[in-house]
Amino acid sequence: MKHIAYLLLLTTNLLLGQVGIGTTTPRGGLEVSSNSGGGILIPQYALTGSNDNTTVSNPQGGALVDGTLVYNTATITGVNSISPGFLYWNGSSWSSIAKDITNTQIMLRKFTSSTIVTSGDFNFPEETFSNIDGASYSSNTITLPTGVYIVESNIMTADRYVIYWDLRLDGVDIDDVGGSTSNYNYSPNSSYAPLISVFEITAATGDITFEVTFYERADTSVNPSVIASRSFVKIEKIQ
């Protein structure tokens, strides 16, 4: 009789579309309750990367359902880097439930020359810090792995110049905010507006360069002078 009562109770809960584990009165679609100090153990997997769509499968067949939740036990570096923790499937890759501020990936680079080229690309050669997995610098180009980035760059002129500049992703200008500098010796309306860029790299890697789009001075026959120690780029990978 006791087993029959439990069966009837479970059947009633299922008919109502509610499931209770450790409780006979679930207050939602699913409620888990315990008086023994236990917790919920989410399925654990050692994923091979953020793009791993084979280690975890849909038991009904077909593609993984958006919102599938697992606990990842592996640490993967490089292009498809992931860290241990709770991840959910967003339809194309595994994403962290909450951003780990202790594992923020940032790169900081400085300018090294006393002048800046006004024709062609320029960049910030001197790296002062970087923990972005899979990032590199070579031949005047910053290479970044797949992800979403916020980039802030600043140029400080040394003598009577107005400069505008843009960021280029794989050789193409992207939408930016700011990116201008005016030295006080040149204009009474002196200002320094950093260039703010937000973009996503969907390929395995993307190449970042910068270019001067406008400059002005009485003598435009020479490249603008800049203060290298005050000219920098900060790159933050936010996803």
Q: Mean pLDDT in the chain?
A: 83
Cα distance between residue 11 and residue 19, in whole Å: 10
Domain with residue 191: its CATH number is 2.60.120.40
On whether both 80 and 179 belong to a single domain, the answer is no
Q: Residue 96 corresponds to which tokens in the numbers above?
A: 């962290």
Q: Which residue has the higher pLDDT, 235 or 204?
A: 235
Q: Are residues 206 and 98 in the same domain?
A: no
> Do residue 230 and residue 121 come from a single domain?
yes
If asked whether residues 110 and 200 sit together in one domain, one would say yes
Instruction: Say what the pLDDT of residue 12 is.
Output: 47
Q: Are residues 141 and 231 in the same domain?
A: yes
Q: What is the pLDDT of residue 218?
A: 56
Q: Which residues of 84-107 are buried (b: 16+ CB within 10 A; e: fewer)?
A: eeebebeeebbebeeeeeeeebeb
Asked if residue 215 and residue 165 are part of one domain, the reply reads yes
Q: What is the number of other CB atoms lying within 10 angstroms of the CB of residue 165?
A: 23
Count of domains observed in the chain: 3
Q: What is the pLDDT of residue 193?
A: 77
Residue 53's domain spans which residues? 41-102
Mark whether 179 and 231 lie in a shared domain. yes
Distance CA 198, CA 200 (A): 7
Amino acid 22: pLDDT? 82
Co-location of 7 and 75 in the same domain: no
pLDDT band at 215 (very low <50, low <70, confident <90, very high): confident
11: confidence class by pLDDT, cuts 50, 70, 90? very low
End-to-end Cα separation, the chain, in angstroms: 55
For residue 183, the model assigns a pLDDT of 57
Q: Can you tell me the mean pLDDT for 61-78? A: 91
Distance set, CA 86 to CA 96, 135, 237 (Å): 6, 25, 19
Q: Are residues 57 and 160 in the same domain?
A: no
Q: Which of 179, 160, 184, 158 is nearest to 168 (CA)?
A: 179
Residue 233, Cβ density class (10 Å: 0-12 exposed, 13-18 middle, ≥19 buried): buried
> Quick one: 174 and 61 in the same domain?
no
pLDDT band at 186 (very low <50, low <70, confident <90, very high): very low
Band (17; pLDDT cuts 50, 70, 90): low
The Cα 182–Cα 197 span in angstroms is 20
**Structure tokens, 74:** 């592996």
Indicate if 90 and 168 belong to the same structural domain.
no
Pairwise pLDDT comparison (116 vs 210), residue with the higher score: 210
User: pLDDT for 139-169, tens place per residue?
Assistant: 999 999 999 999 999 988 877 778 888 999 9
Q: How far is CA 53 from CA 70, 75, 83, 87, in A?
A: 12, 16, 16, 13
What is the number of helices (H) and of strands (E) in the chain? Answer: 1, 16
| Domain shared by 63 and 181, yes or no | no
Q: How many CB atoms lie within 10 A of CB 83?
A: 14
